[in-house]
Amino acid sequence: MTTGTDLTVLCVDPDAEAREGLVAEFETRANFAPTAADSVGSALDTAESTAVDCIVAEYDLGDGTAFDLFEAARDHHPNVSCILFTDVGHADIDSGAFRDTVAEYLPKGGPNATDRLVDIVRNAVLNRTQVGFPLPPDEDERLEALADYDIDDLTAVESFDRFSNLIVSHFGISVAFVGLLDEEEERFVACHGADWETLTREDSICTYAVLDEDVTVVENVQADPRFEHNETLKQLDIRAYAGANLTTADGTVIGELCLIDDEPRRFTDEELTDLQLFAEEVSDQLELRRRLREEETESTSAEENS
Amino acid sequence: MTQTQKAHYEFDNLPLEPVDTGTSLLVTGPALGGTRRLMMQLLACQPNEGLLLLSTDLQGEEAIEQFEAGGCSYTTSRMAVIDCTENSADDDDRNVHAVSSPRDLTGMGIVFSSLYEDLYGAGIERVRTGMYTLGPLLMYAEEVQPLYRFLHTVTGRIRTADGLGVAALDPEAHDETTFRTLSQPFDAQVELRERDDGQRQLRARGLADQPDGWLDVDL
Q: A209 in contact with B at a CB cutoff of 8 Å?
A: no
The per-residue pLDDT for A152 is 87
The whole-angstrom distance between B125's CA and the closest CA on chain A is 13
The whole-angstrom distance between A110's CA and the closest CA on chain B is 7
The per-residue pLDDT for A155 is 83
Q: Is residue A297 part of a domain?
A: yes
Dist CA B59 CA B88 (whole Å): 6
Closest A-chain CA to B153: A129
- What CATH code is carried by the domain that includes residue A218? 3.30.450.40
Tens of pLDDT, residue by residue, chain A (306 residues): 544 589 999 999 999 999 999 999 999 999 999 999 999 999 999 999 999 999 999 999 999 999 999 999 999 899 999 999 999 999 999 998 999 999 999 999 988 999 999 999 999 999 999 999 999 999 999 999 999 998 888 888 888 999 999 999 999 999 999 999 999 999 999 999 999 999 999 999 999 999 999 999 999 999 998 999 999 999 999 999 999 999 999 999 999 999 999 999 999 999 999 999 999 999 999 999 999 988 988 888 877 776
Handedness of CA B101, B103, B105, B107 (dihedral sign): negative
The per-residue pLDDT for A306 is 67
Closest B-chain CA to A94: B107
The per-residue pLDDT for A252 is 97
Q: A106 in contact with B at a CB cutoff of 8 Å?
A: yes
Dist CA B219 CA B210 (whole Å): 19
Dist CA A91 CA B100 (whole Å): 11
Residue pair A218/A227 in contact (Cβ under 8 Å)? The answer is yes
**Which of B112, B109, B82 has the alpha carbon at shortest distance from B94?**
B82
Non-local CB neighbours of A15 within 8 Å, separated by 6+ positions: A58
Residue A251 lies in domain: 140-305
Q: Coil, helix or strand for A45?
A: helix
Best residue in B143, B147, B180 for a mutation probing chain A (most A CBs within 10 Å): B143
Across the interface, of B106, B153, B181, the residue whose CB is closest to A208 is B181
The per-residue pLDDT for B6 is 56
Q: A163 in contact with B at a CB cutoff of 8 Å?
A: no
Task: Domain ranges for chain B, please list them.
Answer: 19-51+102-217
Q: Is the pLDDT of residue B4 over 80?
A: no
Fold of B19-51+102-217: Rossmann fold (3.40.50)
Indicate yes or no: CB of A130 within 8 angstroms of CB of B157.
no
Tell me the per-residue pLDDT of B118-163, one tens digit each, with 9 for 90 and over: 999 999 999 999 999 999 998 888 888 999 999 999 999 999 999 9
Non-local CB neighbours of B43 within 8 Å, separated by 6+ positions: B51, B53, B67, B70, B72, B128, B130, B166
- What CATH code is carried by the domain that includes residue A122? 3.40.50.2300
Give, for B157, the enclosing helix (H) or strand (E).
Answer: helix B144-160
Q: Do A175 and A298 have their domain in common?
A: yes
Give, for B130, the enclosing helix (H) or strand (E).
Answer: strand B127-132
Q: Return the exposure string of A87-125: e unless at least 16 CB atoms fall within 10 Å of the residue's CB, then b.
A: ebebeebebeebbbbbbbbbbbebeebbebbbebbbbbb
Q: Do A61 and A144 have their domain in common?
A: no
Dist CA B104 CA A44 (whole Å): 25
The whole-angstrom distance between B205's CA and the closest CA on chain A is 15
Q: How many domains does chain A have?
A: 2
Q: Coil, helix or strand for A263?
A: coil
**Which of A89, A87, A77 has the alpha carbon at shortest distance from A13?**
A87
